[in-house]
Structure 1
Amino acid sequence: MRVLFLCSRNRLRSPTAEEVFAGRPGIEVASAELAPDAAEVAKAEHIEWAELVVVMERAHKAKLTRNFGASLKGKRVVCLDIPDRYAFMQPELVELLERKAGHLMKP
């Protein structure tokens, strides 16, 4: 299964999720951001590659739908409702990701 994690700037939450779930059997992960001026901006190719798209906030889901509506057809999109208040690999963030997304990471 191919999983794409998205957040605003791809500096804290999404890269942490990518790190946490990378290397699991049968799972390929990637991360990108939805801000237009970020280093790794989400593109249609990212969306097309993914089987599951995981966003951190409802605002991300709305922006994703606005920007990539046609590419999302047939894709599962899940919002984890994780606010932007954690550092990269902060133990509390890792625990939240495991609790909220761990069950999704089954091929």
Structure 2
Amino acid sequence: MTRLLFVCGRNRWRSPTAEAVFARYDGIETQSAGIGKDADTPVSAEAIEWADLILVMEPAHKEKLAKAFGPLLRSKRVVVLGIPDEFRFMQPELIALLEERVGRFIDLPGL
């Protein structure tokens, strides 16, 4: 089982979409969180420890994670997907972009 943690700013559109999309794949467990102070589900130490791979939407998210959770990230792989905050929850263009970008880092059946 591969555990993916998706992180965006407020955990409202991008990372919850990613969580829902990739939870459909066999062999993958997902969680999502936000790095912002007003995140619906803030990133936690427990989520970081749980994850096999952490996928953030923007470089700034990776920087904020490093500041807040530096020691916990030493043994973790953190990947920047480069997905801007211009999509809504489950928007088809966002789903396509997520599948294409995440597919670069893990094997997804059918991609």
Name the TM-score, length of structure 1 as normaliser. 0.94
SS at match of 1:54: strand
Report the CA distance between 1:26 and its aligned residue: 1.1
- Letter in structure 2 aligned against 1:29: T
User: Does the CA-based 8 Å contact 1:8-1:34 persist in structure 2?
Assistant: yes
Q: 1:58 aligns to what?
A: 59
SS at match of 1:32: strand
Report the CA distance between 1:104 and its aligned residue: 2.8
- Letter in structure 1 aligned against 2:14: R
Once the two structures are superposed, the pairs formed by residues 49-88 of structure 1 within 5 Å of their partners are: 49-88=50-89
The runs of at least 4 consecutive aligned structure 1 residues that moved more than 6 Å come to none
SS at match of 1:99: helix
Once the two structures are superposed, the pairs formed by residues 1-107 of structure 1 within 5 Å of their partners are: 1-106=2-107
Structure 2: gaps spanning 5 or more residues? none
Report the CA distance between 1:58 and its aligned residue: 0.3
Report the CA distance between 1:39 and its aligned residue: 2.5
String of CA shifts for 1:33-72, please: whole Å, max 9, x gaps: 0012322111111100001000000000000111111011
Taking only the aligned residue pairs, the percentage that are identical comes to 55
User: Does the CA-based 8 Å contact 2:12-2:40 persist in structure 1?
Assistant: no
Q: Which moved more, 1:35-44 or 1:7-16?
A: 35-44
What is the rounded CA distance, in whole Å, between the counterparts of 1:63 and 1:57 in structure 2?
Answer: 10
Of structures 1 and 2, the one with the larger relative CO (CA 8 A, separation 6+) is 1
SS at match of 1:86: coil
User: Does the CA-based 8 Å contact 1:27-1:105 persist in structure 2?
Assistant: no
- CA-based RMSD of the aligned residues comes to 1.3
Report the CA distance between 1:103 and its aligned residue: 3.7
Report the CA distance between 1:81 and its aligned residue: 0.5
